Amino acid sequence: MPLDRRALVQEHNPHIQAYESGSFVSVGNGNFAFTVDCTGLQSYLDNREGKTPLCTMSGWAMHCYPGKEKARYDLLRLRQYDCNGRSVGYMTDSTGQEELFNDLRVNPHRFNLARISFRAKGVDDNTFISSLSHIDQELDLYSGLITSIFTYKGEVVRVQTLCHPLQDQLSVSVESALIADGTLSVVISFPYASHTISASDYGKPDAHESVLSLEQGRYHTIKRTMDSSRYEVRMYTNEECVLTEQQKHTFRICSSSLVLEASLLFVQDANKAKVSSFAETKALCANHWARFWSEGAFIDFSLSTDPRSHELQRRMLLSRYLLAIQCSGETPPPETGLTCNSWYGKFHLEMHLLHASHFALFGQAVLLARSLQYYKHILPLAIDRAASQGYKGARWPKMTDQSGNDSPSSIGTLLCWQQPHPIFYASLLKKTNPNSAILKEWTQVIEATATFMIDYLQWDDTHKRYVLGPPVIPVQENHTPEETLNPTFELSYWRWALQEAVSLLEEAGSSVDEHWLEVIGKISPLAHDGDVYLAQENCPDTYGAYAYDHPSLLFSLGLLDGRDVDAQIMNNSLDRVLKHWKLNELWGWDFPLMAMTAARLGRCEDAVDLLLMDSPKNTYTANGHNAQLPKADLPLYLPGNGSLLMALALMAGGWKGSKHPAPGFPSEGWVVQTEGLQRFW
């Protein structure tokens, strides 16, 4: 009997009954998102540290401060590192060039497109929010509709909030006597751009322009100019509405009837998209989300008796929704998605794998494939980057944007674990969606990726082997680059990805250089002391002074298939990590990846314990976000949600060679029903 997906999904709809930044909910489509408070709009901005700001964001909405539009990498002095007797320059040292270094990090940055809020006659926003009662807000995950009901001055206000599934448009409907009598109206406000978490600066009204163009009947356009950034807001309202400019960058929508309906479409100038009505958008939205939940895979824990199963179901379903609206767009997402800025709204390519790989395992590979065209777009720049460092092939950036430029960093530019990711994606698509159009177009990307990986390895003539580093900084970022040799996960990932690349290229009919096969066969074995794996060869104190930050030495068996791993040594290593590591300092995505290791080792109880471990950065708030407590700058963290889903796909759907249903879950207390999951490698 098929699972009752709709009932299971809607059982976990977030219900909000107060203004609390940890419960802000969003609507979106992967390229655009709108985050609201308990009013269904963005009525009160609580900009205290550690609170989630209220933003309207798009994948294309990036801005450079005046005079910073041209990235002057040509002026940046590189720090030179010895690489097996050869000097290689990296953008790691800001000394004496602090302003330029910072400019290249901060620009471009993502900005808040607009604030859409209630305006209550005669009172400020704080007083309005404080005066609300009987707050009852629900996000219906199955239809993508937020319904917000509250009472103000004795009158009920009902708000519906939606996002168009195919374009950067939000639609709202407000119903109340307070609309008809003018007590409440809807206000659109435009801030200047900012690289900060809120992506907004309301203190520079003279630094940008907002020009209202009154058009035919219900249609209006506001044209925005902010330095070199330009966009339009195309609006459609119901017949009884009137739009007026209140002051600079502030526009008010009033209605003479009980109902106010408004749709706002955000576009760059050349975009010819037309704004849809609220009713049209609502119908499209309902169909889109019903299809999302019915067509992909599904996991049901409802028959389980383990008391944690309900919370795991909640985290899973909310994570699937959040990643669909924030991480399924045309470019890789920032770590806080389209909710607010982290790292200036740039995206980190090493995290792309954690954000989006689960889509393929949950039978929705198209949502992963959407963002993969980005790698083809930036391939020429990646080739130039490799050549500038004396390497063949293409070297992928770490902290980047639509341009593909890398950002200076004392750590980031020395990371390498993002490099094999395109091969990971290709292998995942080959396994889960072999007819994907991406696979037919990606031979050049795979070949350029692997060519760099081969050339990046260094020949150790003393031990007759190929090594990684120095200089390199591993996933576990607490290692000195000049002293890091053969970091365990990176070395394993290099071997795995190069072997996969050979298979992919041969299947595509491409010839493989014999030198590649020779190099792959001589890559160093993983470093261990006979009992446990080391973080890297030059780290005998792995489980002492270095027992903090990401325990990436475990990930070679879990995220990867462990083809170069000794299971007993990895089992011992997991024991040692659980005993000695600072688990209370781990990041949200560490717990699921450790759970994947435990699952493949047959340690099902440990796998579930790790998934749900009580640790500050494994906190999941009412809206499903993975808060990285106590970090004030990361009230949400989508790599945590994505890695949770990847772990659940492995634990519930199995992997190549697993012999039992749901092999990552204990038989006692857990009944795991699945539909459509793809097996991991």
The per-residue pLDDT for range 322-340, each reduced to its tens digit, is 999 999 999 999 999 999 9
The CA distance from 167 to 472, in Å, is 41
pLDDT of residue 50: 74
Q: Does any domain span residue 261?
A: yes
Mean pLDDT for all residues in the chain: 97
DSSP class of residue 680 equals B
**Residue 128, both tokens:** 């309005």
Q: Does any domain span residue 494?
A: no
CB atoms closer than 10 angstroms to residue 657: 10
CB atoms closer than 10 angstroms to residue 412: 23
The CA distance from 469 to 430, in Å, is 31
Q: Does any domain span residue 199?
A: yes
Does 47 score more than 90 pLDDT?
A: no
Q: End-to-end CA distance of the chain: give it in Å, rounded.
A: 28
Torsion sign across C-alpha atoms 374, 364, 9, 681: negative
Q: Does any domain span residue 120?
A: yes
pLDDT of residue 215: 76
Over residues 174-232, the pLDDT tens digits come to 999 999 999 999 999 999 999 999 999 999 999 999 999 877 788 999 999 999 999 99
The CA distance from 341 to 327, in Å, is 14
E strand or H helix at 211: strand 209-214
Of the listed ranges 112-121, 189-198, 433-442, 566-575, the least confidently predicted one is: 433-442
Over residues 527-570, the pLDDT tens digits come to 999 999 999 999 999 999 999 999 999 999 999 999 999 999 99
Hunting for tokens 């982290």 — which residue is that? 342
pLDDT of residue 436: 87
Q: Does any domain span residue 124?
A: yes
**Residue 271, both tokens:** 């975009």
CB atoms closer than 10 angstroms to residue 72: 10
Give the Cα-Cα-Cα angle 208, 210, 214 (nearest 5 degrees): 165
Contacts of residue 599, defined as CB under 8 A and 6 or more positions apart, other chains included, come to 558, 607, 647, 650, 651, 663, 664
The CA distance from 624 to 14, in Å, is 8
The CA distance from 301 to 8, in Å, is 10
Does 269 score more than 90 pLDDT?
A: no
CATH number, domain containing residue 179? 2.70.98.50
> Which residues are paired to 260 by β-bridges?
174
pLDDT of residue 1: 83
Q: Number of structural domains, the chain?
A: 1
pLDDT of residue 636: 96
Q: Residue 255: which domain range?
A: 5-61+113-293
Q: Is the peptide bond before 630 cis (omega within 30 degrees of 0)?
A: yes
Over residues 159-168, the pLDDT tens digits come to 999 999 999 9
Q: Does any domain span residue 312?
A: no
Question: How confident is the model over 124-139, as a mean pLDDT?
Answer: 96
The CA distance from 224 to 112, in Å, is 12
CB atoms closer than 10 angstroms to residue 277: 16
Q: Does any domain span residue 287?
A: yes
Half-sphere exposure (Cβ direction) of 116: Cα atoms closer than 13 Å: 28
Q: Does any domain span residue 134?
A: yes
pLDDT of residue 21: 84
Question: How confident is the model over 388-409, as a mean pLDDT?
Answer: 98
